[in-house]
Amino acid sequence: MERSIGIDVSKDTLEVVIFDGTFSKNMHYENNLQGLAKLDDTIRNQGEAETLITMEATGVYHLQAAVYLYEKGYTVSVLNPLKIKRYSEMKMLRAKTDSVDARTIAAYGFHEEPCYFTSKEYKKEHIVQLLQQIDALQSTELENSNRLHALKRIPGANEQALEIYRELVRMMKEKEREVENKLYEIVNESYADEYRLLKKIPGVGNRLAALIIGYFGKFENFNNSKQVASFIGLNPSPVQSGISTKGRCAISKKGNRYIRKIFYMAALSASKYNKACNSLYERLVAKGKSKKLALIAMANKMLRQIFAIVKYGRVYDPNY
């Protein structure tokens, strides 16, 4: 690697550092197409060199920069922010500013071997967007179903109001079907092999399989299933000081709430149909553990199965 460019992305700005292993140069651009065009000109004026552009995944704000620079022919890497945080802690950096963050990202790209952003990343982002749309539509449908149910209990309820709620519920269901069809069309076109392997795991349905592909791909940014559990918020979070333990150990819930919800629902199915998960569930309940705790343990068990199958291309073995 001859040149590493780190970009700290925010809603409106791009803090950029060009690093060659010894010297670094700070620059500042707007996070829009005009700012990216100026950044492109600056990089090209630096002369020919093997270049890696690295940035953190910051919601949706990094996507325009990642796609623009990728289409310009640059090698781009989009990192889990937790990796940069841990890298910064390892280097014992004390300051926390945009320029320091950009310099840290550039150093990480220069010294480490991050995964590269590819054209499939677009499709993964589309899958995430469609999953979020389905979740929003289902929430709206449930909200209007509850209002319809409540209104029906009122004597002499206005028929026009009732019909409006019925129509809203019908519309939400229709839109859900449309979005789901588009979602599974993208999954089957671009990730057929991964989708097929995931669906062979008892308890993994269409929604969870699509979620794994959209949010995690092949788990390129994770070294083990424990890291994924922490990202989701399924990891245990004990509170202890000296000989004092404050309450029962619970999951951290610091991760992605939507992913955690889908995993929990999948665990309900796995408790009946997934041999390894069912065995774990019955063993924990027999020991006096709560059913909720057993379900969370099963969600972690499913996650370990999913991680091994997707990351290493294995086929599900019920007797493993």
CATH code for the domain in which residue 85 is found: 3.30.420.40
Q: How far apart are CA 235 and CA 113, in angstroms?
A: 27
Same domain, residue pair 106 and 76: yes
* Same domain? 224 vs 295: yes
Q: 131 with 169, same domain? A: yes
pLDDT (tens digit per residue) in 126-171: 899 999 999 999 999 999 999 999 999 999 889 999 999 999 999 9
Instruction: Give the pLDDT score at 119.
Output: 66
Q: How far apart are CA 150 and CA 145, in angstroms?
A: 9
Of 139, 163, 190, the domain-final residue: 190
Domain-embedded: residue 23: yes
Kindly state whether residue 239 falls inside one of the protein's structural domains. yes
Same domain membership, residue 58 and residue 22: yes
pLDDT in tens, 49-99: 889 999 998 878 888 999 999 999 999 999 888 788 888 888 787 778 888
Expressed as residue numbers, the domain containing 168 is 122-190
Residues 134 and 82 in one domain: no
pLDDT in the model for residue 12:
93
What is the value of pTM for the model shown? 0.73
Beta bridge partners of 75: 52
Q: Last residue of a domain, which of 111, 141, 161?
A: 111
Provide φ and ψ at 158, rounded to 5°.
Answer: -65, 125
Residues 299 and 224 in one domain: yes
Q: How many domains does the chain have?
A: 3
pLDDT category of residue 172 using cuts at 50, 70 and 90: very high
In the predicted model, what is the mean pLDDT of the chain?
87
Confidence band, pLDDT 50/70/90 cuts, at residue 181: very high
pLDDT of residue 46: 85
